[in-house]
Chains A and B, each alone.
Chain A
Amino acid sequence: AQSVTQLDSQVPVFEEAPVELRCNYSSSVSVYLFWYVQYPNQGLQLLLKYLSGSTLVKGINGFEAEFNKSQTSFHLRKPSVHISDTAEYFCAVSDSIYGGSQGNLIFGKGTKLSVKP
């Protein structure tokens, strides 16, 4: 069975500081990995995804994530955060390349990023 662990429930950082949100997964089969962001009072929005190819994936709003198969990790990073990045971030895994669009997603518990001025 697949599972996702987001190691930090809350991450406070100052504006313009770098940030890393950690995500580890467990799976016995090929995985496809996603990061979603949920801004206050809004739905989840795809930030980036890893399906195949380069292990460094770039997403929207300057975020990137690196797929590390040996460490079963998919950490999300941004070199300099803004106040507007304050949101909750969810890591998710699927064993199907279309899993993200077919309800076959396993989500982590989320990490609340709080960016302070």
Chain B
Amino acid sequence: SAVISQKPSRDICQRGTSLTIQCQVDSQVTMMFWYRQQPGQSLTLIATANQGSEATYESGFVIDKFPISRPNLTFSTLTVSNMSPEDSSIYLCSVEPGLGFTEAFFGQGTRLTVV
């Protein structure tokens, strides 16, 4: 399994600013994922972050808006850039713990409110 620490747990930000969310894992993992959960909506995959390569973004998400870093096998950041109220969501980090695992492990999420 994997223990995931996500920071910050919540934040209130002004529109037009940026927020960087950190995800730290207690073991080395190949794949890390970032999800968004908008109010009243399901979780949606934003991007997949593999160490040593550019993140792969899902349809509707772009690097300029959601730049991702993956400097090593235990850490990743997601930045929400030039925020607007529509970016108010819960952002979750998830990891693939290793070969053979069939379920994902999630961080506790970052609850972002943009005012």
Which A residues are within 8 Å of any B CB, using their own CB? 4, 9, 32, 34, 36, 41-46, 49, 51, 90, 92, 97-98, 100-103, 105-110
Q: Which of A46, A103, A105, A107 has the most CB of B within 10 A?
A: A103
Within 8 A of A (CB), among B18-48: 31, 33, 40-45, 48
In the complex, how many angstroms separate the beta carbon of B7 from the nearest chain A beta carbon? 13
Chain B residue with Cβ nearest A51: B102
* B69 lies within 8 A of chain A by Cβ: no
Residues of A within 8 A of B9 (CB): 41
Category for how many chain B residues contact A: 20 to 34
Cα A43 to Cα B34 in complex, Å, equals 13
Which of B45, B96, B108 makes the CB contact (< 8 A) with A101? B96
Question: A43-B108, A102-B31, A103-B48 are known contacts. Are A109 and B103 too (CB-CB below 8 A)?
Answer: no
Which B residues are within 8 Å of any A CB, using their own CB? 4, 6, 9, 31, 33, 40-45, 48, 92, 94, 96-97, 101-109
Question: A43-B6, A108-B42 are known contacts. Are A103 and B104 too (CB-CB below 8 A)?
Answer: yes
Chain B residue with Cβ nearest A49: B103
Cα A102 to Cα B40 in complex, Å, equals 24
A34, B48: Cβ atoms closer than 8 Å: no
Residues of A within 8 A of B44 (CB): 107
Cα A4 to Cα B92 in complex, Å, equals 19
In the complex, how many angstroms separate the beta carbon of B75 from the nearest chain A beta carbon? 17
A101, B6: Cβ atoms closer than 8 Å: no
B106, A45: Cβ atoms closer than 8 Å: yes
